Structure 1
Amino acid sequence: MHFNLLAFILWLLALAYTANPIKILGIFPYDRKSHFIVFKVLLQELARRGHDVTIISHFPEENPPKNYHDISLFIPKESKSRRRRSASTLERSYLNVIKGGIYLTRGGNENCKVLVANEEVQGLINRTEYYDVALIEQFNSDCALGLAYKLSAPVVGVTTHVLMPWHYKRFGVPYNPSYTSFRFLEGGTKPTLYQRVERAVFDVYFKLLYYYIAQRADERTLAEYYDDIPPLENLARDIKFLLLDQHFVLTGSSLYPPNVIEIGGFHVPKPNRLSGDLKNFVEEAEHGVIYISFGTTVRLSLMTLQKLEAILDAIEILPQRFIWRWSKEASLTMEPFNQLGPKHLALLADKNKTYIRNWLPQVDILSHPKVLAFFSHAGMGGTTEAIHFGVPVVAMPIAGDQPANAAAIEESGFGVQQPVNELTKETLISNFRKVLEPEFREKVKLRSKAWHDRPLSPMDAAVYWIEYAARNRNFTLRTPAADVPLYQYINLDIALVVAAFVTGVTLLIIALRLSIKSMTKKPLSDKKRM
């Protein structure tokens, strides 16, 4: 009763603060739609609540809502080229992790060049438009922080994923590879010794790439237009809040300072009822439905024939029906699909067993009670939606934050991991059967209930802290840990003082013992002379 009253009071306060509209600038230079569709939900809600919202992105709205203004960065040829280069393969290897770091570095600088060179953006900066707050994605480039600095706008950072390796220091978040999940690698919060060594090596690799290549390149790009922008890492430490798209019910408890706020689930909309042939396919499924989607980052055409056949063999054996979202480039005329035998082709064509489309209403599907499991690449967006509706996940991570998400899914009890390099018919069927067990599904429902149990909804929390930053724009909110030098942060100076003291005392003791020993030897030598 007391908890409900507190939630009601906080909700009234949030509504009261929203009564004063603010001017918001959103800068989202990354050109992948999978990120922006998450942010768009928040941006449109801010406009709906009466705030004036200007968005710089590659994805302008065709029919923008009231108070919502676009500055488009869209360049068709460049955008398509980058999407081709960034596609992932269904393999896990060190080479792909290394390539991922290079892609992030190059992509971030390309996005920075497009952002700063845009004439509308230059006009906005030259007019020194006033904004109460700037909402900026925290991902692979800090270029947008330079523009916010030129406009003297306080910054709120937002993510669609867990922290990147270079985010920990700037926000003063402790990072310890022995229990902190590493975004690009397996192991979760319980890594083996081998995995801890992996993390130590790749943590250095990603930070070196970012600090000494990515940020330096972005600073040179900004310097071509503006000569008074401070180092980007200094601006990054001045970010008022980071709205982190995760929640401890999934990712576990962490030592975040007060200005790092978990808002996982803010983008999940109210589902619509299924309709047409999709509705019939789901509701007529006697044994329920399993949904398969590997998002927009995994190109099914790069899947090996053996892995594709393993998935199809599992589909054939299990009694459930399957809904499978294929990426647009996947086609039966392309490899490996054109190598499938008659049995597998017949299975794909069986309208009573499989429902395949290149676009599907994912939220509407996951919300249906007959959808029993989700076979996924463990992207944070889809994972969040599955948790929201209490659907168990079989997580097969490929790249990016997916290994960390998959480990969190298993550790939190929301599903199981299916390593892509170990994908066979037998392992996949075994994992499906685990998550389809009534006891497992009931536990997932209970955890989903805990996910929803918050004093404010994720959306209300996100809006509140954005408005808070605008109302208190002159306050410094970062933790002192963000400014402490590394040698002090790990107490190296104290260790050296202690080591010097111990060494000094030890040397003193040794010197005293030698002195005493030499003094006691002299009388003995005198007796021998007598």
Structure 2
Amino acid sequence: MDFSKILFIVLTVALYIEEIDNSKILGIFPLAAKSHYTLGNSLMRGLAEAGHDVTMMSPHNDENPVENGTYRNIVLTGFAEFYEATMKKLNPYERSYFSNSFNYLHKYQRATTVLMENIFQHPAVVDFSNSNETFDVVIVEQIACEALKYFAHHFKAHLVLFSSVAAESKVNYVMGNPTMVSFSPLIDTDFSNDMTLAQRIRNLLLYAYEAAEYKYLWLPFLDDLIQRYHPGAPSMFDINYNVSLVLVNSHESIQPSVPLVPNIVPIGGFHVEKAKRLPEDLENFLNLASDGVIYVSFGSTVRAENLPTHKKLVLLKTFGNLKQKILWKWEGHEVDDLPANVKTSKWFPQKDLLAHPNVRLFVTQGGLLSLTESISNGVPMLAVPILGDQFVNARMVETDGYGLSISFHDSNFSEEKLTSMIEELLHNSTFKEKAMEKSRIFHDREIDPLKKAVYWIEYVIRHKGAAHLKVWGVNLAWYQFYSLDVLFVILTCTVLLLAFLYGIVIALGKLFKMAVKTVIQKNKRNNKNDRRGNNKLKRH
């Protein structure tokens, strides 16, 4: 091969790599909750650091520069403030509001409708939509944002979804992935994977209800919503299933293993970075805790100052009577009569804090990010779920043996109960051993999860949507997907065959009876004739 051909090949490969490295990627992460933004921002920054031209549409602004590529913010102004105001109006401390009832699905849809309409109407989004920009990939957060999948079509891009939880039912519907109803509880229940018969019945009914409502009520509504703001757009039914890839925030160390089709890729824990050095005052507090430290945080949605007074008193008395020092993420006004061993702050570097060897226990609401960061560092947990998916997460903590849980709404939520559970977690080494086992599984991977996410998004770009990864199941109706039509035909044929055989048996029975009756009647006639003959002989 001469030098010119070698040079041509080298330049072609270099240009191909350069094209992939400088792909234009749009991320749409409109949920204002800090945990959702943390995930979206981590993913988009990872893509920018990999050399891509990234645009992030979200309620928050990240002004930190990236080393490679570019990172541009389109800020959904007013969304964070609206979210804060909405959460103040709601009462997340009332279990009935966030219960796993059928009514929950309606509440969820009403809330997400307002969100999506506000996005379509937002001036920054309108201006951005009217630009002549195009993208190679549009990444949309799956939860509460289904109508925003339209923007992939609008910007002539391949559609990638990001799920902040595992491969839940709505993801499975879109990707043709089987939903294992028998051991996968619906995300808003408080069931474990080892469900009772009654729970499996309820779980199946909830799944069936959700699927019917999603397909026959929710998708048509979203179709109308998109047409209202973007007339002439493709049908929502086409948009919804035109997905190249789904990245799910799950891993076998966090959630139970489930079957996944090739274009659903788990990247759980991708936001967890190598621990950084703690601020000096915090480092000293942890180092000087001879009996260890308990870290307490109820996440970004629930503000500690808004906890019901009697529950706050239970927590303060419980922590005040422990030998351990307490670090409590506390938003709002200062606490009156704060126990001497308790230190509060509006914010702690949670991922770095949990990596400190003196942190012996994490008291948490059970959010998925908290579970992930605790598992990453092998810290046992006391899960106190309050709302949403926290209940099913808390069940996983107990089932897998690296912690205990008690619902915030439990009637037994008391100083005595909490103290007993905390002492059990601190002094029973089994919990720490299980947590460390989980941590080893979490870190034992073939590739860093963020690099894995970047690879698969680049894979979609390289292979122009990676249509070859899609399973044929997405083209089937639900009754075909589950072979219900086949079962119906088999059962129908079986019933007809049984009916036919039953008819034959009945007919044969009647014929047999008629034959027997004929034989009996013939025998009677013969006997009668024989008697007449005998009588004649006697007379002769």
TM-score after normalising by structure 1: 0.87
The residue that corresponds to 2:10 in the other structure is none
Alpha-carbon distance in 1 for matches of 2:464, 2:53: 17
Matched, 1:460 2:457: no
Matched, 1:380 2:380: no
The residue that corresponds to 1:513 in the other structure is 505
The residue that corresponds to 2:70 in the other structure is 67
Shift of 1:29: 2.3
Alpha-carbon distance in 1 for matches of 2:478, 2:213: 18
The residue that corresponds to 1:335 in the other structure is none
The residue that corresponds to 2:538 in the other structure is none
SS in 1 for 2:254: helix
What percent identity do the matched residue pairs reach? Answer: 28
Asked whether the 8 Å contact 2:76–2:124 carries over to 1, the reply is no
The residue that corresponds to 1:265 in the other structure is 269
The residue that corresponds to 1:473 in the other structure is 464
The 1:186/1:263 distance shift into structure 2, 3 A limit, reads: same
Alpha-carbon distance in 2 for matches of 1:143, 1:498: 39
The residue that corresponds to 1:310 in the other structure is 314
SS in 2 for 1:430: helix
Shift of 1:79: 4.0
The residue that corresponds to 1:159 in the other structure is 163
Asked whether the 8 Å contact 2:362–2:380 carries over to 1, the reply is yes
The 1:299/1:208 distance shift into structure 2, 3 A limit, reads: farther
Alpha-carbon distance in 1 for matches of 2:215, 2:346: 38
Alpha-carbon distance in 2 for matches of 1:516, 1:208: 48
Shift of 1:57: 1.4
Matched, 1:193 2:197: yes
Aligned partner letter, 1:472:
H
Shift of 1:372: 0.6
Structure 1, 407-416 or 354-363: larger mean CA deviation: 407-416
1:483-504: CA deviations, max 9, x gaps? 3222223332222222223222
SS in 2 for 1:273: coil
1:2-44: CA deviations, max 9, x gaps? xxxxxxxxxxxxxx78973211011122232320122111211
The residue that corresponds to 1:500 in the other structure is 492
Matched, 1:427 2:431: no
Shift of 1:243: 0.8
Aligned counterpart for 1:490 among listed residues 475, 482, 495: 482
Alpha-carbon distance in 2 for matches of 1:172, 1:434: 44
The residue that corresponds to 2:3 in the other structure is none
The 1:361/1:161 distance shift into structure 2, 3 A limit, reads: same
The 1:498/1:140 distance shift into structure 2, 3 A limit, reads: same
Alpha-carbon distance in 2 for matches of 1:496, 1:208: 19
Alpha-carbon distance in 1 for matches of 2:192, 2:492: 38
In structure 1, the gaps of 5 or more residues are 1-15, 333-344
SS in 2 for 1:70: strand
Matched, 1:179 2:183: yes
The residue that corresponds to 1:135 in the other structure is 139
Matched, 1:324 2:316: no
The residue that corresponds to 1:245 in the other structure is 249
Alpha-carbon distance in 1 for matches of 2:42, 2:87: 23
Q: How many residues align?
A: 499
Alpha-carbon distance in 2 for matches of 1:389, 1:214: 40
Alpha-carbon distance in 2 for matches of 1:79, 1:396: 23
The 1:93/1:194 distance shift into structure 2, 3 A limit, reads: farther
SS in 2 for 1:250: coil
The residue that corresponds to 1:288 in the other structure is 292
Aligned partner letter, 2:438:
R
Asked whether the 8 Å contact 1:173–1:257 carries over to 2, the reply is yes
The 1:296/1:529 distance shift into structure 2, 3 A limit, reads: farther
Alpha-carbon distance in 1 for matches of 2:212, 2:85: 26
Shift of 1:74: 1.3
The residue that corresponds to 2:33 in the other structure is 32
Structure 1, 496-505 or 131-140: larger mean CA deviation: 496-505
The 1:392/1:37 distance shift into structure 2, 3 A limit, reads: same
Asked whether the 8 Å contact 1:134–1:154 carries over to 2, the reply is yes
SS in 1 for 2:496: helix
Aligned partner letter, 1:35:
H
Pair member with larger Rg: 2
The 1:207/1:300 distance shift into structure 2, 3 A limit, reads: farther
SS in 1 for 2:229: coil
Matches within 5 A, 1:20-419: 20-65=21-66, 67-75=70-78, 78-85=82-89, 88-89=92-93, 91=95, 95=99, 100-207=104-211, 210-212=214-216, 214-328=218-332, 332=335, 345-346=336-337, 348-350=338-340, 353-419=341-407
Alpha-carbon distance in 2 for matches of 1:96, 1:356: 33
Structure 1, 193-202 or 378-387: larger mean CA deviation: 193-202
Alpha-carbon distance in 2 for matches of 1:209, 1:64: 44
Asked whether the 8 Å contact 2:185–2:203 carries over to 1, the reply is no
Alpha-carbon distance in 1 for matches of 2:346, 2:286: 17
Aligned partner letter, 2:139:
L
The 1:298/1:87 distance shift into structure 2, 3 A limit, reads: farther
Alpha-carbon distance in 2 for matches of 1:48, 1:444: 32
1:296-355: CA deviations, max 9, x gaps? 222435534443333233213332111111234x665xxxxxxxxxxxx53x242xx001
Shift of 1:133: 0.8
The 1:228/1:32 distance shift into structure 2, 3 A limit, reads: same
Task: Give me the CA root mean square deviation.
Answer: 2.6
| Greater length-normalized contact order (CA 8 Å, ≥ 6 residues apart) | 1
Alpha-carbon distance in 2 for matches of 1:503, 1:320: 69
The 1:138/1:271 distance shift into structure 2, 3 A limit, reads: same
In structure 2, the gaps of 5 or more residues are 1-16, 527-540
Asked whether the 8 Å contact 1:163–1:183 carries over to 2, the reply is no
Structure 1, 165-174 or 200-209: larger mean CA deviation: 200-209
The 1:94/1:268 distance shift into structure 2, 3 A limit, reads: closer
Asked whether the 8 Å contact 2:105–2:210 carries over to 1, the reply is yes
SS in 2 for 1:136: strand
Asked whether the 8 Å contact 1:46–1:53 carries over to 2, the reply is yes
The 1:276/1:50 distance shift into structure 2, 3 A limit, reads: same
TM-score after normalising by structure 2: 0.85
